[in-house]
Amino acid sequence: MNDYYAALGVARDASPEEIKRAYRKLARKLHPDVNPGPEAADEFKKISQAYEVLSDPEKRQAFDMGADPYAQAGAAGFGQGFSFSDIMDAFFGGQAAGGGRGPRSRQQRGQDALVPLEIDLATAVFGGNADLVFDTAVICPTCSGDGARPGTGTRTCDVCQGAGQVQQIQKSFLGQVMTTRPCTNCRGFGEVITDPCFECSGDGRVRNRRTMTLKVPAGVDSGTRIQLSGEGEVGPSGGPSGDLYVEVRVRKHAMFQRQGDDLHCSLELPMTAAALGTTLPLETLDGTRDVDIKPGTQAGDTITLKGLGVTHLRSAVRGDLLVHANVRTPTKLGPQQEELMRQLAKERGEERPEAKFQPVNHGLLGRLRDAFAGK
C-alpha cells in the first residue's frame, strides 16, 4: 500500500493547507518541464497521486482506514476499509449520494460574496458611483478554468471507467445489499486530471483582487444590501459565479442626522434673534438655503425645509430637512444691558412672572426627543 503522507513529506494529521504547500513545493521541483528524466517523471506522478488522495476529505478518510484507490482498482474502488458512508449505504442503498445519475460536472456554482461599502451622506441622499475593491475567486489565468496544465487534459477514471460511480455488494444482517455511490477516485466526475495546473492546483480558480464600479441607488441607508447577480465568486472549474452582496454603511455627517427619509439639524439662536425674527443662511446638501426665523421663536421650535431630505429608496419623493431652534440665553450682562432687560420686563409686566411647570415629556426636552424620534 502506498504511503501518500510520506510521499509529500507531511504528518498524518497535516492540515489541508500544509498538504497543499507541500505538494506545490515538490511539484515545482519535480515537474518534467523543470526536471526532465524518467525518475523525476515517476516521482512527479507519485506526488500528484498523493495530493489527489489527501486533498479530498472523503478519499483521505478512506485511505486512513486502509483503502488505496491506486493500489486496488476493483469494482468498488476501495480496499477492505469502510467509511461511515459505506455503512449508511448498506442500509439505504446509496441513492442519496447520487447513485444512478452518472458522472457529475466539474463545473459548480460559486459561492455568494458579501462586501462592505462605506459612503457619505450625500451619496446616500442622491445616489452615485462608488468603487469596490475586494478579494474573490476568479478563473485561473494559467489553465483558463479547466484545472489542467496547459497542453494536458484528463483521462478516464481507472476505477469507475468514466461512470462517476461505483457499485459494491456488501453483506449485512439483511442479506446482500448492492450500493451505488460516487467514485472516490475521481470524486464522481468520471475523469481524472492527469497533470494539475501549478497556479490553481487543479481547482480552475485562484484568489485575486478585483475592482468594479457600483451604481449606488438614492435612498440607501446603513444596513442596506445591494445584490449583484453573477458577480460573486466563480465556481470550481470555471463554473457560474455566485451573487455579490454589497452592504452599505453611511458615514456620520458633521451637521445632519438622518431619521428615516428626513434630515435633522439644530440651530443656536441669540435670544434677541428668536424674539425679533431673522433670516439665516444654511448650507444644505442641495446648496445654500435661507432659514426664516419667525418673531417669537421658542426653544425647541422646528423650521421645516420641504423636500431637502433623503430620497425615498423606491421613489423619487424626498423627505424634509428639519431645523430645531435652540435659543441661547445670555449668561453675563453689562450694567446697561441689565437695565434694558429690566425695563423690558417692566414693560411686559414680567417683573414677577408666574411660573408654569410642565412634565418633562411635554417641555423643551420632550419636544427635542420626540423630534429626533420621528414623532
> Residue 80: its pLDDT value, please?
36
Spatial separation of the C-alpha atoms in residues 239 and 146, rounded to whole Å: 10
pTM of the model: 0.61
Can you tell me the mean pLDDT for 261-276? Answer: 93
What is the per-residue pLDDT across 14-39, written as a single tens digit (0 to 9) for each? 888 888 888 888 887 877 666 667 77
Q: Cα 218 to the chain's mean position, in Å?
A: 22
Alpha-helical regions (H) of 55-138 = 57-64, 84-92, 121-126
What is the per-residue pLDDT across 44-103, written as a single tens digit (0 to 9) for each? 888 888 888 888 887 887 787 777 766 544 333 333 334 444 444 444 444 433 344 568
Q: Could you say which of 2.60.40.790, 3.30.1330.10, 2.60.260.20, 2.60.40.420 is the CATH number of the domain covering 257-372? A: 2.60.260.20
Spatial separation of the C-alpha atoms in residues 103 and 157, rounded to whole Å: 11
Closest to 61 in 3D by CA, of 88, 89, 81, 46: 81
Q: Annotate 265-304 with b (16+ C-beta within 10 A) or e (fewer).
A: bbbebeeebbbeebeeebebbeeeeebebeeebebbbebe
Spatial separation of the C-alpha atoms in residues 251 and 123, rounded to whole Å: 10
Q: Is 143 assigned a ligand-binding role in the annotation? A: yes
Q: For residues 174 and 214, which has the higher predicted lDDT (pLDDT)?
A: 214
What is the per-residue pLDDT across 108-163, written as a single tens digit (0 to 9) for each? 899 999 999 999 999 999 999 999 999 999 999 999 998 999 989 899 999 888 88
> Residue 360: its pLDDT value, please?
58
Give me the residue spans of the domains in the chain: 1-55, 257-372
Closest to 148 in 3D by CA, of 200, 207, 105: 200
Amino acid at 4: Y
How far is CA 8 from each of CA 19, 55, 79, 115, rounded to the nearest angstrom? 7, 11, 22, 37
Phi, psi of 57 (to 5 degrees): -55, -45
Closest to 206 in 3D by CA, of 110, 278, 328, 72: 110
Spatial separation of the C-alpha atoms in residues 21 and 10, rounded to whole Å: 10
What is the per-residue pLDDT across 56-71, written as a single tens digit (0 to 9) for each? 887 887 787 777 766 5
Q: Cβ distance 11 to 5 under 8 Å?
A: yes
Q: Is 265 assigned a ligand-binding role in the annotation? A: no
Per the structure block, which three cell numbers stand in for 110? 460559486
Spatial separation of the C-alpha atoms in residues 167 and 35, rounded to whole Å: 40
Q: Regarding the domain with residue range 1-55, which homologous superfamily does it belong to in the CATH classification?
A: DnaJ domain (1.10.287.110)
Spatial separation of the C-alpha atoms in residues 357 and 367, rounded to whole Å: 15
Phi, psi of 320 (to 5 degrees): -110, 165
Spatial separation of the C-alpha atoms in residues 106 and 189, rounded to whole Å: 6
Closest to 61 in 3D by CA, of 84, 36, 92, 40: 84
Q: Cβ distance 117 to 130 under 8 Å?
A: yes
> Residue 73: its pLDDT value, please?
41
